[in-house]
Amino acid sequence: GQQLNQSPQSMFIQEGEDVSMNCTSSSIFNTWLWYKQDPGEGPVLLIALYKAGELTSNGRLTAQFGITRKDSFLNISASIPSDVGIYFCAGQKGSQGNLIFGKGTKLSVKP
């Protein structure tokens, strides 16, 4: 099946550091989304991107839809302990296509 390559697989950082993760694909997507899964819970949408080149922020989070439509990145600035969790990128083709998820980036934050 189609795959999204998400990296890094895991990160161990100190509180206050900035974090960057990205997703790449060999296919073009019309929508990129970033989800976060807190320990013991289901994923929750953080940011949705609908236009190539779009840069969107949500508090300390910033995400971009790559100009080629084949990639996206997520940055977290000044990390805090509650940023711990697994971050998933997801791509969607068209308005009705099912989401294709990346394998996730597991973030650990040391206080």
Token pair for residue 56? 């969107």
CB of 80 to other proteins, least distance (A): 23
Nearest to 27 by CA among 95, 90, 74, 86: 90
CB of 93 to other proteins, least distance (A): 10
44 binds other proteins, rule: CB under 8 A: yes
26 binds other proteins, rule: CB under 8 A: no
SS3 26: coil
Nearest to 48 by CA among 60, 62, 24, 31: 31
Cβ distance to other proteins smaller for residue 43 or 66: 43
CB of 75 to other proteins, least distance (A): 20
